[in-house]
Amino acid sequence: MKRYKLACVVTAIACTMLCSCNSSDTNKNTTQTDTSNITTEASSEMTTENTSEATTEMTSENTSETTSETTSETTTEAPSESTTVPTTEPQTEKDTTPKKTETNNAPAVTMAFTGDIFFSDSLYGYYTQNGVSGFLSEKVKNNLYNADLYIADHEFACSDRGEMAEYQIYTFRAPSNREVIFKEMGADVVTLANNHTLDYGVIGLQDTFSNLNALDIDYVGAGNNLDEALTPVIREVNGKRIAIFGTTRFVPQAFWYATASNPGLLTTYESTAYFGMICDAIANAKKNCDYVLVFTHFGEEKQNTVEPYQKTVAYGYIDSGADLVVACHPHVLQGMEFYKGKPIAYSLGNFLFSNYHSDTVVLNVTINEDNSSSVSLLPCSSQLYKTTDITGEAATNLLEYIESISFNVDIDKDGNVTERK
């Protein structure tokens, strides 16, 4: 059951207005798990990849969305200097919940996931007129709000401060007072591990931490240091302990990496020591939790094909103990796959991120009594920062398309996704 969401909305609005903009000492307001006691060193031979970030179809909006003259973004695999990954000391569990749940009596847990989100000026205009119903259809809104856990990609800095990153083609920032929209959408956890949360520098990222903390929305994939970024959020829902990680395989600059002493993001380039650390943390979380999921950011923009490295990363997570991998970044839908019986959604597409039309979905995952996953899709259409569910022939065509670009899945007319045997 959702945690007191309706009451929190009113409280959250007041908290957002009162919260301090200075967030340099902000810590996550979540129950945290132990991470691995491993010291590793990133190789100084790691290479730099150049990845184009520009999308010619994307339309920027004044005040919140700024376009620079740059022609490409540089994706880096690791800082050029040798980086020592700090040892993470075990932490004492502060909660008294059981380490594992007896699955024979545990009720199911419902989770909803959505793709890229930015609270643009136009979206905020709809919101001020009609609330969340101004930009989400009733079915979509209810799907998100009624899930036991709704987890989203927060792809912007939420801050009133910071300097725009001139090396970015597109930068995304929304004023602090817009963060409450996530609360009203029913968001429980957001991932900050993507290529836009540092568009307005460390101060913009840390203001985002503060704004989320004030609203009691947990975040993953970023922190004031590597230890924070690597630590999963753990939620207990219906007696099940669920660990949630956030990672990204796309950052435009090396200083976006979270390190032992620097704020930043949890990066997951498979050739680096960070990937091994994440896999170790997943394995450790699995020892104490019933279910582990990773929300990652990878893939090539505007491409519906899955790159080999996406499989390497996703398979690595599942081999380490993850039960589900969900992803964004290409701004289009990519297919799905079951690996060792565990579902992978390679890209959910734009959920609320663009003026141009985007096919997208709400990914619904139910954790069953035996901790297996049941998966379904709610087909949607997004344009001009409004997202609605689609029905009839349009829905059938979209589900058939997703099945056609997937690997070993069947998707029925109701959106139920099963492994093809």
pLDDT in tens, 18-56: 333 333 333 333 333 333 333 333 333 333 333 333 333
Domains and CATH numbers, the chain: 47-77+105-419 (3.60.21.10)
φ, ψ of residue 108 to 5 degrees: the values are -70, 160
Q: What is the pLDDT of residues 292-337, one digit of tens each?
A: 999 999 999 999 999 999 999 999 999 999 999 999 999 999 999 9
Tokens representing residue 181 in the block: 């929209």
- Close Cβ partners of 393 (under 8 Å, ≥ 6 residues apart): none
Q: Give the mean pLDDT of 229-243.
A: 98
d(CA 197, CA 208): 8
- Close Cβ partners of 95 (under 8 Å, ≥ 6 residues apart): 31, 236
Beta strands in 290-372 (DSSP E): 291-297, 324-328, 336-339, 342-345, 350-352, 358-367
d(CA 82, CA 364): 41
Given a cut of 60, is residue 78 above it in pLDDT? no
What is 393-416 written as a DSSP string?
Answer: HHHHHHHHHHHHTSSSEEE-TT-E
Beta bridge partners of 17: none
Exposed/middle/buried for residue 233 (C-beta within 10 Å: 0-12, 13-18, 19+): buried
Q: What is the pLDDT of residues 366-414, one digit of tens each?
A: 999 999 999 999 999 999 999 999 999 999 999 999 999 999 999 999 9
Model confidence at 118, pLDDT cuts 50, 70, 90, reads very high
Residue 67 near residue 169 (C-beta atoms within 8 A)? yes
